[in-house]
């Protein structure tokens, strides 16, 4: 109860101070939270069917979002994460037949990169970029691929849902996706502004770029970190 009250107070303060004015909901549509509090996102359920293709980048040790999508719509979900702990954890899980896991991540270009592990050894999520939550002296070499290359491998021409929770790499990835003119209906992003001194500016620029390409916000989480966009051009 105390945590919920603190979150509510924080939310009110953020709204009153205008710090989240760039996260204004523009499109009105039905939206439902899929997954638990930690790993969930808002989705517009009417746009999902058993034939839908869902890409989920950044699994960590939480597939509550992915399971909820499959359970509700029987959609095909493709999960990706190059994090060592995530790859080990996923092998211990009983997975739905429609969940497919791949041991690489997403980037603005394909290739092998240094992947920095979390500063706190008890945490799971690493990052391909140097940011506050990683230890730059503790790294592994992992494979990354661009979204365009991944889709070409799977012979996918369109993605119904793209979820990205990639620990600060989202800004470059979004720019690349939009530059490649990839067909996507819903884009769900966890913004990690808190990792950077200019984090709010990074998010504003990404949102403006998304808007210029037809993507508008239809839902925002209570923490203002998980933001859901819908393609208004091909809706």
Collapsing DSSP to helix, strand or coil, 189 comes out as strand
Whether residue 128 lies inside any domain: the answer is no
Domain range enclosing 168: 24-106+150-231
Whether residue 138 lies inside any domain: the answer is no
What would the pLDDT profile of 160-202 be if each residue is shown by its tens digit? 999 999 998 999 999 999 999 999 999 999 999 888 888 889 9
Whether residue 141 lies inside any domain: the answer is no
Whether residue 145 lies inside any domain: the answer is no
Whether residue 176 lies inside any domain: the answer is yes
* Top-confidence residue, 134 or 4: 134
Whether residue 70 lies inside any domain: the answer is yes
Q: How confident is residue 4, by pLDDT bands cut at 50, 70 and 90?
A: low
Q: Number of structural domains, the chain?
A: 1
pTM reported for the whole predicted model: 0.91
Collapsing DSSP to helix, strand or coil, 214 comes out as coil
- 150/130 Cα distance (integer angstroms): 24
Domain harbouring 93, CATH code: 3.40.50.150
Q: Name which of 38, 62, 34 is nearest 161 in CA terms.
A: 34
Q: Which pLDDT score is estimated for 20? A: 78
Q: How confident is residue 16, by pLDDT bands cut at 50, 70 and 90?
A: very low
Kind and range of the H or E element at 130?
none
């Amino acid at each position: 109860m105390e945590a919920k009250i603190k979150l509510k107070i924080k939310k009110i303060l953020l709204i009153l101070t205008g710090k989240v004015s760039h996260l204004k909901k523009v499109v009105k549509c039905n939206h439902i939270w899929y997954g638990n509090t930690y790993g969930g996102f808002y989705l517009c359920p009417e746009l999902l069917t058993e034939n839908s293709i869902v890409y989920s980048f950044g699994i960590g040790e939480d597939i509550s979002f992915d399971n909820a999508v499959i359970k509700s719509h029987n959609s095909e979900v493709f999960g990706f994460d190059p994090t060592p702990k995530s790859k080990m954890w996923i092998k211990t899980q009983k997975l739905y037949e429609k969940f497919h896991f791949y041991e690489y991540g997403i980037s603005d270009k394909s290739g092998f990169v240094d992947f920095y592990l979390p500063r706190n050894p008890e945490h799971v999520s690493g990052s391909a970029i140097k940011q506050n939550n990683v230890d730059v002296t503790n790294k592994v070499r992992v494979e990354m691929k661009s979204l365009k290359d991944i889709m070409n491998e799977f012979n996918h021409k369109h993605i119904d849902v793209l979820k990205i929770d990639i620990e600060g790499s989202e800004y470059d990835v979004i720019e690349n996706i939009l530059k490649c003119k990839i067909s996507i209906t819903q884009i769900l992003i966890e913004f990690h502004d808190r990792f950077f001194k200019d984090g709010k500016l990074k998010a504003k620029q990404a949102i403006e770029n998304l808007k210029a390409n037809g993507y508008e916000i239809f839902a925002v989480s209570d923490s203002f970190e998980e933001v859901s966009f819908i393609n208004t051009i091909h809706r």
